[in-house]
Structure 1
Amino acid sequence: MAALSFAEAQARVLALNSDELPFVYEPAPYGIRAAWKYADVKWAAITAAGTISGDYELRVTLDPESSTWTFDETRSESRSTVQSDGGGGFSASFGSSGFKGRQKSASFQFGVGSAASTTDRQGTHEGNTYGYSFTTDEVKEPLIAALESAGWERARKGLFGKLFGG
């Protein structure tokens, strides 16, 4: 089977979009961008309050001359917490992390507070608990399957990649 064109392969992936998914595939000049805001949480309890924010982006570059694709990933997270130290004082903590490259990861978060709100593609939800789950496979696997069904293959980089399929 001959590989579909750049536009047809791109359209095949974009057809995977659904309001039921927590991420979205978008067209880009280089191919496809997948974006997932997997955590946007604000919570408060009697002794503490905080925020969690996390984003993931997958950039898929399509090479129409060889009908191959490559991808790069970017992930960022930030957290902040203010809590009682038990002696009438308060402490605060802040942190952030980021990653760029290729990864396979999953993360899960669950918490309880007297007031919590989470925001996702379906809107903002209020309640006493919060949580999220995230896995890179949920974004990548359907995209890769759509590209392979369009006759596209993952590009093999470097001598060892070409020899050993890496």
Structure 2
Amino acid sequence: MATPVPELLAAVPALNSPDEPFTYVVIGDTIVGSWDIVRATTLYPTEITSIDKDYSITVTLDPAKETFDFNEVYNASAGSAGSGGGRFQKEFFSGKSTRKSFSFELGGVSKTDDGISVGPVTYSFSTSRIKEPLFTLLEQHGWSRKKGLLSGLFNR
């Protein structure tokens, strides 16, 4: 028998750690994990470049079946402007995926949420890093992942 929804949701804030770049919150009867992957603006001698990447996962519970399902949203944008003109790129994904990004770098003088720095802005991102603690908590409380038609082929 799975832990009742109110008790399960009360356990979610314990997943938050100051050592991790993401947080979990309870909104109604859903659990939302959010990760502001990178937000930086870099000033080159003749060009300004900005990058912004965000990820969230929303878990929905089905108390009748003691299962959970989830949806992921990934947003990324990058742009630059300089003496040669400008360009802008936007990426959006909603669904289920496995994604990894390692060490993106912007040189020059950079302004990030942490302040101003000289040199590269680096980050690493993996969906498993935010999913695993959450899915482990749910499974430890007797909840199982909802099985879809293709879940055996695309189990992430």
TM-score, normalized by the shorter chain, greater than 0.5: yes
- Counterpart selection for 1:105 from 73, 79, 99: 99
Shift of 1:20: 2.0
Distance in 1 (CA, whole Å) between partners of 2:153 and 2:38 is 37
The structure with the largest alpha-carbon Rg is 1
Name the TM-score, length of structure 2 as normaliser. 0.89
Paired AA for residue 44 in structure 1: L
Shift of 1:164: 8.1
Query: Unmatched 5+ residue regions in structure 2?
Result: none
CA RMSD of aligned residues (A): 1.9
- Counterpart selection for 2:118 from 103, 128, 133: 128
Alignment of 1:6-155 (within 5 A): 6-83=5-82, 89-108=83-102, 109-113=104-108, 115-119=109-113, 124-129=114-119, 130-155=121-146
Name the TM-score, length of structure 1 as normaliser. 0.84
SS in structure 2 at match of 1:20: coil
Distance in 2 (CA, whole Å) between partners of 1:102 and 1:140 is 11
Higher relative contact order (CA 8 A, sep 6+): 1
Query: Unmatched 5+ residue regions in structure 1?
Result: 84-88
* Contact 1:106–1:134 (CA under 8 A) maintained in structure 2: yes
Distance in 2 (CA, whole Å) between partners of 1:125 and 1:41 is 10
Q: Percent identity?
A: 30
Shift of 1:111: 2.1
